[in-house]
């Protein structure tokens, strides 16, 4: 939960590992771990150095969108594919489509050991990797449809797929449009591909990420570059659509995982609203929700409304912590702290005065599109009480220090 949108999840043995979108915050792409799909621990981040993620002047809501995590069984290696949107102005839809990349590591519990990026040929957002049974790797992503012969409405954001060489990122086949939505806003994004028995499944988010956000699924028996059969509307599709629901809204960007007992689960983002439809909805941002799904057409929660609590086979009760405290008595900063964009140099110190965090100011303010000397934590509940103690050594009138929400 709390500012954890666009989840992607894998299981390796009895361990589950989801990743989520960090947007303009650094380090990028938090990784969580669980043994039971209920109790989660932050174990690290994928992009932890500027050679992997260098965000300069990224504006609010830009940065790292919708990563996909996958495990290559033959190589026994973890992969994450993602792109970095350096320019995004939603009011005018001024968007520079990024060139995505993949990074990998063999020991996911070892911090800071992800590789440097290997870039793909195909531009796009919301990159997905699929390792097929025959050893081939397929890459899916989202870009604007510019071919006038293709019917697409609104923003014309559609999903394409091609075969790639995993080690070089080079394309081995032309990209094929596999999901286009001609509805008013024309958005089909966040693709994820799965295989179950004789079917390949393609799950995409449609309608944008506000109240119209919903999830649709298609399937194919001829392969990933062939034709796709869309699930029947009303009985299968949309898999998820919450519209203006009072408890949870904006649901979509779904990924799936199979547990050790063969049960299939879906993870998806949602918003716990605080206002009316169309208003600034939640101080917690978009979060990750989990529901039980059946196979076949992967009908989610028997098409019943998704709520904040659910039942599932073999799940323990959730007992979340009610408080959190950091006395800064370690030599390294706790991994739950974030900077706004990529720091040019370190601006904090924990070693000079144990039990205290020293911040060294720089020339940037919070409102500048750069990295100010500021450390942030994610808000976990709507209503919280918090406090901090601050000592400020001010030598010039222009110097400022404080806290921000």
> 94-139: per-residue pLDDT in tens?
889 999 999 999 999 998 789 999 999 999 999 999 999 999 999 9
Neighbours of 12 (CB within 10 A): 12
**Residue of 4, 6, 255, 291 with catalytic role:** 6
Which residues, other chains included, contact 171 with Cβ-Cβ below 8 Å and sequence gap of 6+? Answer: 120, 121, 122, 139, 162, 163, 164
Q: pLDDT tens digits for 252-291?
A: 789 999 999 888 888 888 887 765 555 444 444 444 454 4
- The pLDDT assigned to 282 comes to 46
Mean pLDDT of the chain: 86
- The pLDDT assigned to 383 comes to 78
Q: pLDDT tens digits for 323-349?
A: 889 999 999 999 999 999 999 999 999
Cis before residue 20, ω within 30 degrees of 0?
no
Tokens (6 digits) for 187: 């958005």
Is residue 6 annotated as a catalytic residue, yes or no?
yes
Percentage above 90 pLDDT, the chain = 55
Of the given ranges (75-79, 259-263, 301-305), which has the lowest mean pLDDT?
A: 301-305
Query: Given pLDDT bands bounded at 50, 70 and 90, which one contains residue 182?
Result: low
**Residue of 126, 128, 163, 189 with catalytic role:** 189
- The pLDDT assigned to 246 comes to 66
Is 294 or 213 the better-scoring residue by pLDDT? 213
**What CA–CA distance (Å, rounded) separates 92 from 77?**
40
Distances (CA, A) of 389 to 81, 126, 352, 357, 401: 40, 40, 18, 10, 12
Say which residue the tokens 């009480």 belong to.
385
- The pLDDT assigned to 168 comes to 98
- The pLDDT assigned to 101 comes to 98
Q: Is pTM, for the whole model, over 0.75?
A: yes
Domains annotated on the chain, with CATH: 8-303 (2.115.10.20), 323-404 (2.60.120.200)
C-alpha 189: how far from chain center? 12
- The pLDDT assigned to 238 comes to 86
Q: Any bridge partners for residue 144, and if so which?
A: 157
- The pLDDT assigned to 148 comes to 66
Q: pLDDT tens digits for 220-252?
A: 999 999 889 998 888 888 887 766 666 777 787
Best CA proximity match to 236, nearest among 218, 256, 223: 218
Is residue 189 annotated as a catalytic residue, yes or no?
yes
Q: pLDDT tens digits for 137-163?
A: 999 999 988 776 665 555 678 899 999
- The pLDDT assigned to 204 comes to 92
């Amino acid at each position: 939960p709390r500012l954890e949108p666009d989840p992607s999840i894998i299981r390796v043995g009895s361990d589950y590992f989801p990743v989520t979108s960090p947007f303009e915050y650094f380090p990028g792409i938090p990784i969580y771990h669980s043994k039971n799909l209920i109790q989660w621990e932050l174990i690290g981040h994928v992009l932890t150095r500027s050679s992997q993620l260098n965000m300069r002047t990224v504006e609010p809501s830009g940065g790292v969108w919708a990563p996909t995590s996958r495990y290559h069984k033959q190589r026994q290696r973890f992969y994450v594919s993602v792109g970095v949107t350096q320019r995004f102005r939603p009011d005018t839809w001024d968007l520079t489509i990024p060139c995505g990349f993949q990074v990998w590591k063999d020991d996911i519990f070892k911090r800071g050991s992800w590789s440097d990026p290997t870039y793909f040929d195909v531009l796009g957002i919301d990159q997905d990797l699929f390792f097929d049974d025959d050893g081939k790797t397929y890459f899916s992503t989202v870009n604007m449809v510019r071919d006038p012969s293709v019917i697409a409405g609104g923003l014309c954001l559609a999903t394409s797929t091609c075969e790639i060489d995993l080690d070089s990122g080079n394309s081995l086949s032309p990209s094929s449009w596999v999901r286009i939505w001609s509805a008013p806003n024309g958005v089909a994004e966040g693709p994820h591909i799965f295989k179950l028995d004789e079917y390949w499944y393609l799950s995409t988010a449609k309608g944008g990420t506000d109240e119209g956000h919903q999830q649709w699924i298609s399937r194919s028996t001829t392969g990933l570059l062939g034709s796709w059969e869309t699930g029947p509307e009303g009985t299968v599709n949309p898999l998820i659509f919450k519209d203006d629901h009072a408890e949870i809204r904006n649901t979509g960007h779904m990924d799936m995982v199979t547990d050790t007992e063969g049960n299939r689960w879906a993870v998806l983002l949602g918003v716990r609203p605080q206002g009316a439809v169309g208003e600034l909805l939640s101080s917690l941002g978009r979060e990750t929700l989990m529901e039980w799904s059946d196979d076949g057409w992967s009908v989610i929660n028997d098409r019943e409304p998704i709520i904040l609590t659910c039942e599932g086979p073999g799940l323990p009760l959730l007992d979340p912590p009610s408080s959190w405290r950091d006395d800064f008595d370690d030599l390294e900063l706790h991994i739950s702290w974030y900077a706004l964009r990529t720091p040019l140099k370190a601006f904090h110190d924990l070693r000079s005065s144990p039990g205290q965090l020293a911040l060294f100011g720089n020339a940037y303010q919070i409102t500048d599109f750069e990295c100010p000397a500021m450390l942030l934590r994610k808000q976990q509940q709507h209503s919280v009480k918090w406090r901090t103690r601050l000592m400020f050594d001010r030598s010039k009138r222009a110097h400022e220090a404080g806290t921000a929400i």
